Structure 1
Amino acid sequence: MQPNVEPFFDPVTGTVTYVVFQSGHPECAVIDPVLDYDPKAGRTSTTNADKVIEFLRQHGLRVQWILETHAHADHLSAAHYLRGKLGGKVAIGEHIRTVQGVFKKLFNLEPEFSPDGSQFDHLFREDEEFSIGALTAKALYVPGHTPADTAYQIGDAVFVGDTLFMPDVGTARCDFPGGNAHSLYGSIRKLLDLPGDTRLFMCHDYPPEGRKPQWETTVLAQRTHNIHAHDGVTEQQFVSMREARDATLAMPVLILPSVQVNIRAGQFPPSEENGVSYLKIPLNML
């Protein structure tokens, strides 16, 4: 099966949202939708998500799934907004519970927040199969960037989340809470053991100077050209490189607001008595 894949690139966060569907069938999945956020004003908007909605309506597509590859640290999720507009089930890997537990403590969230994944409509088990209309899909557990990353294999396409980037950019960082470079190496090799012509779709692209954003590649291209994880790179070489590189990286600009929203499946924290939702900034914690 070769599903149709429609990308939507957000240049502000470098994130790619995907609509995945099969010709002749109305059901579709939306993967990693973006809610726009202005960190200076603390204001959200729906420009990116509304582009996705317009595409779906133009093509007569019905949302069956809204899939998150992980609790993102670089953008807020529009999953809750899209579900309210179009329906569908919001889903993520079952290990989101671990991430929720870590960040409930970090942000000292309200006692009513349960780190049990109940904020999502469905939690995927490792290698769980599911359907998107006539398409068969599988949830692949690929930890390392975080302990809860999931990739989605849909026909000949795999949506890799934050594991691999385009070959000239390399691989994802592993220094967030619960991240592990050894685990990421294993997850990358799991993906690169797939057939060479498997299409791989990136969650992000941060293109080098002079290159336009790109997000589609193949297993063979990654095995041959990925600057961090091409064939022949040993686990220890990868871990040494990844840990040294991560030590030089600044925290993502939106990590503090985004994680608080994304572990809630895109919902805002409960409104306070004045009707306003607030995000927390933990001082001297990260």
Structure 2
Amino acid sequence: MTQTRPEIAGFHDPRTGSIQYVVSDPGSGRAAVIDPVLDFDPASGATATGSADALLAHLAAKGLALDWIIDTHPHADHFSAAGYLQERTGKPIVTGGRVVEVQALWKRIYNLGDGFATDGSQWDRLLEEGQSLPLGALSLVAMHSPGHTLASMTLTCGDAAFIHDTLFMPDSGSARADFPGGSAAALWRSIERIMALPEATRLFTGHDYMPKGRAAVWESTVAEQRATNVHLTKASCEAEFVAIREARDRTLPMPKLILAALQVNIAGGRLPEPEASGQRFLKIPLNGLPGAVWG
């Protein structure tokens, strides 16, 4: 009988609320990393690799063989550690094919010039709808899930789905859709596709902000989300969801790291190249997101 239940380990980053995942096929020990975090302190400009190193330590402790390093979308609240993990392991980095649209959008915002490629060549593989990555006896299958960003991608694997920033845990609702290129209507349609998966499908979200001080959690099911998600239970159609989501988004300041993080994350999780002094610099556009709520 074919194994349909991958083993999944989640690693919560309390600084950003992000969840990193290691997903593996129990039979073969083949593994993938999903949404790795490169630590960054905006006050000092310091970067560190503690979060990503925890993934490498887990792989080693469990005797797992890494095949893929994947980002579900260009993140706005943390730096991707895909570039660092590739340097350490030599394994391919992967993201959704529509990242080229995000690159083109943010290239204009950053005024990056002709030297910055917007063809997705910073990754080894771009996944289109329905394409898959082998993982031992399992496969990671791409489902395009725009709304939070243009390039957001859900990955299904056996009885599991990595739903990134579409839905959070049921007590937290859904992800915002007001970033450049975002769309609450598109997010609703992406959520509907996820909710059409079998009811027992395990859903692994991209963030948990521990509302009301509860412990961090990141796993639910389709059935639980349908029955108790605080946004889905209030919205019976796209128009109602869009009204709820857009009203909420109008109150939210931009993530504190968005302008720093996107410059790294549209480049495959690679930091800017050092300048002549050997120092790396981030380029932050002033007034580049007009109308943003002040934090």
What band does the TM-score fall into relative to the shorter chain? over 0.9
What's the secondary structure of 2:226's corresponding residue?
A: helix
The aligned residue for residue 8 of structure 1 is: 11
Q: Is the 8 A contact 2:38 2:49 kept in 1?
A: yes
Q: Is the 8 A contact 2:27 2:136 kept in 1?
A: no
Deviation at 1:87, TM superposition (A): 2.4
**Aligned counterparts of 2:213 and 2:42: Cα–Cα separation in 1:** 28
What's the secondary structure of 2:288's corresponding residue?
A: coil
Deviation at 1:60, TM superposition (A): 1.7
**Aligned counterparts of 2:247 and 2:233: Cα–Cα separation in 1:** 18
Q: Is the 8 A contact 2:235 2:241 kept in 1?
A: no
**Aligned counterparts of 1:163 and 1:47: Cα–Cα separation in 2:** 27
Out of 203, 214, 218, the residue aligned to residue 211 of structure 1 is 214
The aligned residue for residue 265 of structure 1 is: 268
Out of 164, 169, 173, the residue aligned to residue 170 of structure 1 is 173
Q: Is the 8 A contact 1:74 1:253 kept in 2?
A: yes
**Can you list the C-alpha shifts for 1:89-130, whole angstroms capped at 9, x where unaligned?**
111100000000011111111421111100011000111122
**Amino acid of the residue matched to residue 275 of structure 1?**
G
Please give the TM-score of this superposition, normalised by the length of structure 2. Answer: 0.95
Match status 1:147 vs 2:166: no
**Aligned counterparts of 2:264 and 2:76: Cα–Cα separation in 1:** 10
Deviation at 1:219, TM superposition (A): 0.1
**Amino acid of the residue matched to residue 57 of structure 1?**
A
State how many pairs are aligned. 286
The aligned residue for residue 108 of structure 2 is: 105
In the alignment, structure 1 segments of 5+ residues that lack a partner are none
**Amino acid of the residue matched to residue 90 of structure 1?**
I
**Does 228-237 or 147-156 show the bigger shift?**
228-237
Mapping for residues 1-286 of structure 1, pairs under 5 Å: 1-230=4-233, 233-286=236-289
**Does 128-137 or 145-154 show the bigger shift?**
128-137
Structure 1's consecutive aligned runs of 4 or more residues displaced over 6 angstroms after TM superposition are none
Q: Is the 8 A contact 2:80 2:264 kept in 1?
A: yes
In the alignment, structure 2 segments of 5+ residues that lack a partner are 290-295
**Can you list the C-alpha shifts for 1:165-212, whole angstroms capped at 9, x where unaligned?**
000000010100110011000000000011100000011001211311
Please give the TM-score of this superposition, normalised by the length of structure 1. Answer: 0.98
**Aligned counterparts of 1:205 and 1:268: Cα–Cα separation in 2:** 26
Task: Output the aligned Cα RMSD.
Answer: 1.1
Deviation at 1:232, TM superposition (A): 5.7
Percent of residue pairs bearing the same amino acid type: 48
